[in-house]
A = this chain, B = another copy of it.
């Protein structure tokens, strides 16, 4: 399948460091941040999984479940997680990492680069740094794709979760570089009269650009 914004993401069963999971059942009614990394015992990935595990309380607050993935087996993941806990000074690594040894989930979610795609079935294939933000109805809402050489931005993942949850809850949209607490935009589909009823005060910069408190 080709995943687009608004696509229902595919379900799967997989072995993980938390035991066997069914993806949909694991997410339940939560949001999901599902991301892949190239390999266990590699440096950028180590910093990434440590950072995301440290931020788990922030994701918990937002009702978001984290799920990682790479193509090694569970024993390798578990050995490596000991390193991550030591390096990032974590009491306990906080979320499951899928052991996608047959690369079934990686291909279901297209977590490969051009080279990996060409090597399909004839060479080593590692996953890249994909991020999928999935809402409680299992729809893909945002996706990022980074190469193995560049680590992701944990603050941007939290920022877009805040933005998506705000837009869903309040019927607003968020401007460039928006951060929680900043003013939001009233969508053009809402008339001035409706906007006044719904949001109280708002500032009109142009008829189509109206800011209000979130």
Q: Give residues in A with beta carbon < 8 Å to B.
A: 2, 4-7, 41-44, 46-48, 50-52, 83, 87, 110, 112-117, 128, 141-156, 159-160, 163-164, 167, 173-178, 185-188, 205-206, 208-210
Q: Which residues of B contact A117 (CB under 8 A)?
A: 4
A208 CA to B45 CA in the complex, in Å?
11
A51 CA to B174 CA in the complex, in Å?
14
Q: Which residues of B contact A164 (CB under 8 A)?
A: 147, 149-150
7 A–B contacts, CB within 8 A, in A order: A5-B113, A42-B188, A44-B175, A47-B175, A87-B205, A87-B206, A87-B209
A128 CA to B83 CA in the complex, in Å?
40
B4, A110: Cβ atoms closer than 8 Å = yes
